[in-house]
Amino acid sequence: MSDGADLSEHGFIGALFGEDELGVVIRAHINIEARLLELLELRVVDPKHLERMDLDFGQRVNLAVALGLKPEHAPALRALGSLRNAFAHRLDTLLTEDRVNNLYEALSAGDKEVVQTAYERTKAEMQGPDSPFKALSPKTRFILISVALRSLLVAAIREVGARRKSV
């Protein structure tokens, strides 16, 4: 599956930092939804029927969990879908502290640890200021959370692919 965009993590991050708040939320959601669809296509016998089902994002998350995605990832994915809907339906929507905090709180404990570890590693590599995660701008925190959500789906895709090769 290819959505025509740079599918690497580096390309994803670069695209997000180049966007305004509306663009960052919509682009992150589109990319994460593409990874979710890729996972679903790998898990079902006949993927063409997925499109015929006309599932919304929340239903796709539920189906992915039913097909093996770890349930602890679902609340954050659903929260991302809700955030995207807020941006898609109102021109005056902003990426506020509360919205990003709600998304972060929807992460499982393990996913929060991934976000924090990735931030610490990036900060060390870039020799950036020693700011805590919570002190970052809402946009930057949103991007880091989005990268973690995308990464968990990429890991699930790789896991399914590895299982298929070993069978």
More confident position, 53 or 125: 53
Instruction: Give the lowest-confidence range in 1-15, 19-33, 43-57, 99-113.
Output: 1-15
Residue 4 lies in a domain: no
The yes-or-no verdict on residue 5 having pLDDT over 60 is: no
Report the chain's mean pLDDT, rounded to a whole number: 89
Residue 1 lies in a domain: no
**Cα gap 91→144, rounded to integer Å:** 24
- Write the pLDDT tens digit of every residue in 95-137: 999 999 999 999 999 999 999 988 888 787 776 677 889 999 9
What range does the domain containing 118 cover? Answer: 9-166
Residue 3 lies in a domain: no
Strands (E), 18-161: none
Residue 52 lies in a domain: yes
pTM value is 0.88
The yes-or-no verdict on residue 167 having pLDDT over 80 is: no
Q: How many domains does the chain have?
A: 1
Residue 2 lies in a domain: no
Residue 117 lies in a domain: yes
